[in-house]
Amino acid sequence: MDGYRQDGDSSRSEPSRWREVGLWLFGVVALVVIGFTLEDGVGIPFATTLRVACAAICLFFIYRLGVSYPGERWPQISFLVALVVNFAIFFTPLVDRPASRGELMLFALPDAVVVMTARVISYPVADVHQRANRQTIILGLVVAVVFCVGLLGLTWMEARTTHRSSFTR
C-alpha cells in the first residue's frame, strides 16, 4: 500500500467519529436544556434561544471556513456580512412565528449566499480550469439564491398570513 486507505478517504478513526457525534448530540441536549431553563427562569422564549443558536452555528461554520483559508480576506468579509444579515433577520416578521424544525435553514441559506458571493467576487481567474471552477461556484450561488428566496418567501407568506389572521379574530 502506498499510504492510502482502501475503505474510504477519511483520515479520522471510527472512535473519533463516534466521539464527535456524541459531542454534537450532547450539544443539542444542552441547547434544549438551556433553552427551557431560560424560558422558565428568565422568560426568554425557547424559539428565540433556538434562533440565536442556529445563527451562532452558521457563523461558526463560516469562521471555520476562514480558518481553512488563512491569509485570504474573503472569509473575514463574508463572516462580517453574514453576522449583519443574521442580526437583521431578528428584526423581520420571520421571527414572530413559532419555532420549527427548519430554523437552521432560515440562517444557513442567506449565509451560504453571502459566502458564495464573497468567494465569486474574490476568486482569481488565470486559466480555463479556474474559469470553470468560478462558473461552478456561480451556478451554486444561483441555486442557493433560488432556494433562499423560495424558503424565505414561503416563511414570510406564512408569517404574514398568521399575523393577519390574528387581527381578524
Residue at 62 is within a domain = yes
Query: Are 110 and 153 within 8 A, CB to CB?
Result: no
Cα 29 to Cα 15, 26, 59, 102, 123: the distances in Å are 21, 5, 20, 17, 39
Domain containing 109 equals: 18-168
Q: What is the pTM of this model?
A: 0.72
Residue at 6 is within a domain = no
Total count of domains within the chain:
1
Residue at 112 is within a domain = yes
Residue at 2 is within a domain = no
pLDDT by 10s per residue, the chain, length 169: 444 445 555 566 777 888 888 888 888 888 888 888 888 888 888 888 888 888 998 999 999 988 888 888 899 999 999 999 999 988 887 777 777 777 788 888 889 999 999 988 988 888 999 899 899 999 999 998 998 888 878 777 765 665 554 455 4
Residue at 133 is within a domain = yes
